Amino acid sequence: MLAYTIYISFFGALVVLLMPKGSRMAIRTVALLCAIAGFALALTAFVQHGTGELTTVALAPWIPSLGIHYHLAADGITLCLVLLTGVVAIAGVLFSWNIEQRVNEFFAFYLLLIGSVYGVFLSYDLFLLFVFYEIVIVPKYFLIAIWGSTRREYGAMKLAIYSFVGSAMVLVGLIAAYVVAGSHSMDLAALASYRYPLHFQMWAFPLVFTGFAILAGLWPFHTWAPTGHVAAPTAASMLLAGVVMKLGAYGCLRVAMTLFPLGLSSWGFHVLGFGSWRDVFAVLAVIGILYGALVALVQSDFKFVIGYSSVSHMGFILLGLMTLNQIGITGAVVQMISHGLLAGLLFGVVGRMLYDRTHTRELGKLGPMNLSRALPFATVTFVLAGMASMGLPGFSGFVAELMILIGAWRVSPLLAIGVGLGIVTGVAYVWRAMQKAFFAEATTIIDPHPPAPITLPEKLGTGLLLASSIAVGLYPQMVLRLIAPALNTPLFSGLHGGGW
C-alpha cells in the first residue's frame, strides 16, 4: 500500500494540471486530499509496522539486462521519514492556501516534488533511488523560480546547480560501485553486502557522502540553502528545509555509509590531526553547527535567520551520523524528523503568517509593528517553535539533540563541547529574532491597516506540525521502536564496529 503514496502524488499532479484554470478552491482541495491520502497511507504503515525490519513494498524488473529493478521497500527509518513527508506535505498545502497565481502549475509541481520525495525514501534499488532523487530538482527549481520572492532566479539556479553537481558525484560513485561489484544488480542490499576493496571505498565513500551531503547543507557546501530558502515561496521552503534536505542526509546514511563502511576507517596516517574521513566530516559538521548558528545570530532578514538555523540543525544530523554509534545515528534520524517538522513550522510563520501580511522580513521593520498584539497566534507559534528548535524538553528537538550529544561525547568530548556551544548559540539567535520581531519596543502610532487575522488553514497546519513535534518529544519511543531495529538489520552491519 505504501507505494501508493508515490502514485497518488504523481496522479494528483496530473489531475491538478488538467483542472480548469479558474477553479482555485477545487485545485487546492485536490492537492490537500492527495497530501492527506499520502499521510494516511504513511500513518497506517507506521502504526501497523511493529518491528521496523525491512519489508518489500513493490518489486518488478525494470531493465533486467542491467540488473535494475523497480524495488520499493520500507524499514523503520523509511517509515518515519515517509510519515514526516506526509505531515509536512499537508502543512505545506495548508500554508499555501493563499496562492493565487498559476495555481494549477504550483500544486502540480508541489505534488510532483512530494511524490518524488516519497520515491527516494522508499527506493531500495539505487538506480531507482537516483531517478527520484534527480526528479526532485526539477519541481524545486520551478517552485522557486516562478513563485519565489527575493532574487528568486539566482536562488533557484544556485540550488539547481549545487543539486546537480552533488547528484553527479553520487552517480559516479553509484556506477563505480555497480561496476566493481560485477554489474549484476543495482539493488541496495546486494551492493551493500558486496565487500569492496579498501582503497576503492576510501575514494568512493567521500565522493558519494559529499554528493549527498551537499543537499544536506554540509559546510562549506551549504551556501545554496539560505539563498534558496529565502527565495522560495513558503510551501517550497517548508518542503525544502523540511524534507528535501533530509533526502541528502538519508542518502548519506542509507547509501554512502552502508555501501562503503570501510571508507570511514582510519587512513593509517594523520593530516592536520585528521585520521579518517569520519574525522573530516565530523569536524565539518560541527563547523556547520557553529557557523550556521553564529551567522543566524547577525541576520537582519527573518527568513535568513531560519535559513541559517537550518544549516546549523542539519549539522547535528551529519554529526550524529559520524558518531558511528547506535545512539548517535538514532539521534540523527530523530533530528531529521524533528527538524523537518520545526523548520516547516518556522518557515510557515515567517513566510506565510508574517511576510504575506506585512510584506517585509526585516527584523528592524517587523519590530515596530507590535506583532505580539496584532498577530498573537503567530507570536505564540513562533515562541513554541523557537523553544522546540532550541531543544527544550517536551519537544522533539530535545530528544534528538540529547542523543546526538551523548553519541558525540562517546566519540570525543571535544566534539560534544562544540555541539554544546552550538546549542547555546541556538538559544541566542532564536531569542534575538523573537525579541526583535515580536516583542520590540512598540511605536505608539496605531497601524491603520492591521494585518489580516490568521486563517483556519494556517491554524490547522500549525497545529499539525506542533502536535507532531510534541508527540515525538513526549513519547520518543514511538519512533525509536522503529529506528533501532532498522539500524540492527544486516544492511547496516558494516557500521557495527567497536563503538556501536
**8 A C-beta contact, residue 24 and residue 116:** no
State which amino acid sits at residue 425: T
Q: Is the peptide bond before 220 cis (omega within 30 degrees of 0)?
A: yes
Residues 466, 72: Cα–Cα separation, whole Å? 30
137 makes contact with other proteins (CB under 8 A): yes
Q: C-beta of 61: minimal distance to other proteins in Å?
A: 8
20 makes contact with other proteins (CB under 8 A): no
**8 A C-beta contact, residue 217 and residue 315:** yes
Query: What residues between 143 and 202 interact with other proteins by CB under 8 A?
Result: 145-146, 153, 156-157, 160-161, 164-165, 168-169, 171-172, 175-176, 178-179, 183
Q: C-beta of 168: minimal distance to other proteins in Å?
A: 4
Count, residues near other proteins per rule CB under 8 A: 33
Q: C-beta of 67: minimal distance to other proteins in Å?
A: 11
Nearer to other proteins, 72 or 479 (CB): 72
Produce one character per residue of 288-324: b if its CB has 16 or more CB atoms within 10 Å, e if not.
bbbbbbbbbbebebbbbbbbbbbbbbbbbbbbbbbbb
Contact range with other proteins by CB under 8 A, out of 28-36, 124-132, 243-251, 486-494: 124-132
Query: Which listed residue (132, 205, 221, 438) binds other proteins by CB under 8 A?
Result: 132
- In the structure grid, which three cell numbers stand for residue 360, read together? 517585509
134 makes contact with other proteins (CB under 8 A): yes
Nearer to other proteins, 26 or 168 (CB): 168
Whole-Å CA distances, 474 to 299, 305, 388, 467: 32, 27, 12, 10
Give rounded-to-5 percent helix, strand, coil for the chain.
Answer: 75, 5, 20
DSSP for residue 392: -
Nearer to other proteins, 39 or 178 (CB): 178
Nearer to other proteins, 80 or 256 (CB): 256
Q: C-beta of 130: minimal distance to other proteins in Å?
A: 7
Nearer to other proteins, 61 or 450 (CB): 61
Q: C-beta of 355: minimal distance to other proteins in Å?
A: 20
Nearer to other proteins, 135 or 333 (CB): 135
Nearest to 229 by CA among 165, 285, 284, 299: 299
**Length of the chain as a residue count:** 500
What is the pattern of x (binds other proteins, CB under 8 A) and - over residues 40-69? ----------------------xxxxx---
Residues 269, 416: Cα–Cα separation, whole Å? 24
| Sites of contact with other proteins (CB under 8 A) | 62-66, 127, 130-132, 134-135, 137-138, 141-142, 145-146, 153, 156-157, 160-161, 164-165, 168-169, 171-172, 175-176, 178-179, 183
